[in-house]
Structure 1
């Protein structure tokens, strides 16, 4: 796949933020991931049927922290036919770094990291997908507005400084919001910022930026702390709900690992069903005990997410993904991608069927 060199649009600014993050490879090494993900087995063509049996000695390293906890809380982890290793990483930048080092087999991300991987020469395939059944009324993100800045509609974004993370879902959302508002990148100031931790809320509260996409409990915390100073949030009205598992092509070309990934996706589907059917246990076990949030925050996140959709037909999802890829190709001066080539439809029914039946078999 041809890769083009990324160019910066005019008027885009960078804001340096010091992050105290632990290097991804150090985390993976600590959990044993760097060696296990490099194992090899019999070759398997990417067009070949997925094997069902996982050979003895097969290892798999997965970066899917949320579902890891669901697998443990539900007891589903005990039903694996092989020992899966979990790496405490998620999101595009971390998984991409781990994929480059061949230290990870599967990662949990939104829809932009698989595109970013393709544009930067890392071959991956999407193997599972989930969405929200009411994405417009239950969005993942809202647009946080800095204290003293007036944004009541998307048209008011003109001239504003907007946080922008090019390789992440938040960055794509910003471009889609501008498209919906009839604005171009030249009509605003895009400030490159990573969307990790409290970077966006901090930059908003200090008025280094005017607008940033905020997700989850960050919305309520931002308003709790800064609404009295004039901070607000506005809805964007777009669908922003894709959540995927993607895997290294080289892992899918290993027959043992391909079978292990197939099994993981099935257990993943069961774990998602358990989350939806056990909200109290999920809030207490994950949000409170694992993430350190309050029960109220956990309840807010469960309610905000709404009902889940784990489709067994990816046709509509691929079409939406293609539209996003085409927008980014234009706006970020990237090579065109046929997204159908990065969706591994051998897995199309695996996760969705397990979610519906509650069984991984």
Structure 2
């Protein structure tokens, strides 16, 4: 199937999902339905379990864990996954590659979950000091657009740094061993590396104002067109929104469940992470378009994608009603 045919079929599938939203709104999910969702850092699994929302899902929800958006994208293209929890860049890179994986839900924080972290012994006070540094980021992941924006704020581009290609799983060890100067990391690695080896986030206050923290749930069009799995997605999205709302209201319980018990951080580190985070906000497709377009424009201006995409075409509104009702 060529790109034009694929996108036409995708648009039909998304329309079908939108139309089907009304019919499925009150429908019970068939307990025999199997839904495979790609998790990262087992965040979705722990959130659903800690909040008690996993028990509300009366179908076979499987949550294989992945390290980063590129690996998830390959699994999606192979048909091994139905939906996925990803960062802000993977849906854009997928579209740029000719594969539209519609976004069904958007999870946002006012402050980005990414930080620019320097190796032990290297203190970076301003974004301009990134020039010439050995920096690792993962192309096709949310780390990419975060670094591009950080460089842009300092009048720099990717050509002004020495990029080092690494897997996401290798980034913490690369910082520990000083194999690189800077990495784009998220928690719990930012706090863990600061405590273990003295790695430090870039001190420039602009670094915390670069971008909001955005994550998406996206799906294969074939899954959206399947009434049984679409109904299961609806139930999952409702449970995820309620779980996120619970985590906002019960920060200490959430922090203990995820950062202390699962990630094995001490309570003081957990408290520091929670204090640095802003609340989760669940957005409908219309509400999420502006930030998504900004991300597209950043990647396009940097030459990382060849076409300026229309953000409105990245979303399906089939699950907006449940997001609005449960948040």
Name the SS for the 1:143 alignment partner: strand
**Aligned partners of 1:204, 1:284: CA distance in 2, in Å?**
26
1:124-139 alignment runs, 5 A limit: 124-132=101-109, 134-135=110-111, 139=112
What 5-or-longer segments of structure 2 have no aligned partner? 5-12
Tell me by how many angstroms 1:182 deviates.
1.1
Instruction: Report 1:33-44 matches (<5 A).
Output: none
The answer to whether the 8 A contact 2:14-2:221 is kept is: no
The alpha-carbon deviation at position 231 of structure 1 amounts to: 5.3
* 2:238 alignment partner, one of 251, 266, 279: 266
The CA distance in 2 between the partners of 1:269 and 1:334, in whole Å, is 34
Q: Give the corresponding residue for 1:62.
A: 37
2: CA distance between counterparts of 1:43 and 1:144? 39
Give the match for residue 217 of structure 1.
188
Instruction: Please list, as runs of the form range in 1=range in 2, the aligned pairs for 1:75-224 lying within 5 A after superposition.
Output: 75-89=52-66, 91-132=68-109, 134-135=110-111, 139-149=112-122, 151-196=124-169, 199-224=170-195
Q: Structure 1, unaligned stretches of length 5 or more?
A: 4-41, 356-361
Residue in 2 aligned with 1:280?
252
Q: 1:129 to 1:43 in 2, by over 3 A?
A: closer
Aligned-pair CA distance for 1:316: 4.9
1:46 deviates by 4.2
Q: How far apart are the structure 2 equivalents of 1:201 and 1:87? A: 22
2:265 to 282, 286, 293: 293
More helix, by proportion:
2
Normalising by structure 2, what TM-score?
0.83
Tell me, in whole angstroms, the C-alpha distance in 1 between the residues paired with 2:122 and 2:257.
39
Deviation at 1:352, TM superposition (A): 4.0
